[in-house]
Amino acid sequence: MNLNLTNTRQAASIASGGISSQAIYDNFLELIEELNIQGDCLDFGAGIGNLTQLLQSLDCFNSITAADIMQRPVGIDDSIKWISWDLNESLNIPSQQFDVIVSAEVIEHLENPRATLREWFRLLRPNGIIIFSTPNNESWRALIALVLQGHFVLFSDTCYPAHITALLRKDIRRILGEAGFSEPTFVFTNLGGIPKLPQFQWQQISGRLFKGLRYSDNLLTLAYKP
């Protein structure tokens, strides 16, 4: 591995903070409980382990493995297996190890989403499920930024080099299909900032009537491996 490239990727990881929002984590937990997902779980891009520990608290998985370029966080439960690895590269573990892969706000940090989806397909057992989230680049906030500034709102210079890969739903459908996954289901976080005033949310001014595609800063994707 090129040392400069490794250092760049590690710097990008540090810039991200290794965390996402509690609202996004809650969406993952709700889906897992709603779909009664069980078995062996991989948290792909676990960061500092916040979602990993929430997954463990559900007490529905046989095992939980976490993978990230960051080192194992201090204090994480010994029952959780931690893999320190550059997620731009294929994990050095056998195929078909997991029943579910979750990945919160990770794919936009990686260089090749097609390679990532192929890796998830390899790691999942038949009938396994992936759930991943990423910025929603079809919200009003994202589209207005694209028109006025020439980039999606969560891919500005202030988000670089952490956010490097912007995806639309069409892109996600295509790469999932190419990797062999089922037609995806999209779930919106129903939490979105107003353009130029992100400290205020659409949901606050509308009594939570504004929701879905145009009013969510993030989306979750679910798909199955046949």
We report the CATH number of the domain holding residue 152 as 3.40.50.150
> What's the pTM?
0.94
Can you tell me the distance from the alpha carbon of 64 to that of 212, in angstroms, rounded to the nearest whole number? 31
Q: What is the mean pLDDT of residues 68-87?
A: 95
Residue 11 has a pLDDT of: 67
pLDDT confidence band for 18 (50 / 70 / 90): confident
Please report how many Cα atoms fall inside a 13 Å half-sphere around the Cα of residue 221, on the Cβ side: 27
Any idea what the Cα angle at residue 153 is, between residues 149 and 158, rounded to 5°? 90
Owning domain of residue 175: 3-224
Q: What is the mean pLDDT of residues 86-108?
A: 97
In three-state secondary structure terms, 186 is strand
What domain count does the chain have?
Answer: 1
- CB neighbour burial string for 77-96, b if at least 16 within 10 angstroms, e if fewer: eeebebbebbbbeebeeeee
Q: Which residue has the higher pLDDT, 1 or 63?
A: 63
Express each pLDDT in 126-151 by its tens digit. Answer: 999 999 999 999 999 999 999 999 99
Q: Which residue has the higher pLDDT, 178 or 17?
A: 178
% pLDDT > 70, the chain: 94
Any idea what the Cα angle at residue 176 is, between residues 173 and 177, rounded to 5°? 85
Residue 39 has a pLDDT of: 98
pLDDT confidence band for 4 (50 / 70 / 90): low
Residue 2 has a pLDDT of: 61
Residue 110 has a pLDDT of: 96
Q: What mean pLDDT value characterizes the chain?
A: 94
Can you tell me the distance from the alpha carbon of 128 to that of 97, in angstroms, rounded to the nearest whole number? 10
